[in-house]
């Protein structure tokens, strides 16, 4: 599939089939994320795959119960993938401070999108979630307190009969050439 078709195919899935995801498909998504570029080649990420049914329910409860109920669809996903930020190279950290830009989070966003695009290529759906109870997630998975869980990505086969319409701004609304207008 060409890249624009792949980019159009990828959307945030909030309705999953209860079909297990073959581990080799998940690992190809991780490989795509691993290949993502990063500032000074820091690769400031670690991935945690959670696919054991009893742990999935425990993790989803820790992450999304209570005031975060709008992400309850995560309970349906047969796989949750966490991205935990790791130490940047000193040069990337210095660059972030000097330029007042968070290169680490940009890098993690790029890796996450590589993951999601590969998932779409594999026939899988994803949804990136940044709104969750991080303290409970860390406790559930024994993640050190000084680490940050940046994203949780739901992963599975979409139960949607057809993808929802993608409402996007027109090219004219987002593009100028040669100067800002």
**Residue-level pLDDT at 68:** 62
Q: So what's the pLDDT on residue 67?
A: 66
Residue with tokens 């995801």: 21
Q: Which of 137, 13, 3, 10 is nearest to 65 (CA)?
A: 137
Q: Flag whether 139 is in a domain.
A: yes
What's the chain's length in residues? 181
Does some domain include residue 22?
Answer: yes
Walk along the chain (181 residues) and give the pLDDT tens digit of each residue. 899 999 999 999 999 999 999 999 999 999 999 999 999 899 999 999 999 999 999 999 999 987 667 888 999 999 999 999 987 767 777 677 787 887 889 999 999 999 999 999 999 999 999 999 999 999 999 999 999 999 999 999 999 988 888 999 999 999 999 999 8
Q: Residue 99: give the domain boundaries.
A: 3-174
- With the C-alpha atoms ordered 12, 17, 23, 25, is the resulting torsion angle positive or negative? negative
How many domains is the chain partitioned into structurally? 1
pLDDT recorded at residue 15: 96
Question: How far apart are alpha carbons 181 and 177 in whole angstroms?
Answer: 9
Q: Does any domain span residue 179?
A: no
User: Would you state the pLDDT for residue 95?
Assistant: 76
CATH (domain of 12) = 3.40.109.10
Q: Looking at the domain assignment, is residue 181 inside a domain? A: no
User: Quick check: helix, strand or coil at residue 142?
Assistant: coil
Residues 6 or more apart whose Cβ sits within 8 Å of residue 72: 64
Is 108 among the domain residues?
A: yes
Helix 23-34 × helix 103-121 angle, to 10° = 140
Q: Are 76 and 20 in contact (CB under 8 A)?
A: no
What pLDDT does residue 46 have? 97
Q: Is residue 26 situated within a structural domain?
A: yes
Question: What's the pLDDT at 169?
Answer: 96
Distance of CA 152 to the CA centre of its chain: 6
């Amino acid at each position: 599939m060409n890249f624009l078709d792949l980019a159009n195919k990828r959307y945030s899935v909030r309705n999953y089939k209860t079909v297990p995801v073959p581990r080799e498909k998940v690992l190809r998504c991780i490989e795509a994320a691993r290949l993502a570029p990063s500032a000074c080649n820091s690769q400031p990420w670690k991935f945690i795959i959670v696919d054991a049914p009893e742990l999935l329910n425990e993790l989803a409860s820790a992450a999304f119960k209570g005031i975060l109920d709008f992400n309850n669809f995560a309970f349906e996903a047969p796989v949750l993938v966490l991205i935990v930020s790791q130490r940047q190279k000193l040069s990337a950290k210095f660059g972030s401070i000097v330029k007042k830009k968070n290169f680490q989070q940009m890098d993690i966003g790029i890796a996450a999108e590589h993951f999601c695009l590969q998932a779409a290529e594999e026939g899988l759906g994803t949804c990136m979630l940044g709104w969750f109870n991080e303290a409970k997630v860390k406790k559930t998975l024994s993640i050190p307190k000084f680490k940050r869980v940046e994203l949780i990505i739901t992963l599975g086969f979409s139960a949607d009969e057809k993808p929802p319409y993608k409402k996007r701004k027109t090219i004219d609304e987002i593009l100028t050439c040669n100067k800002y207008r």
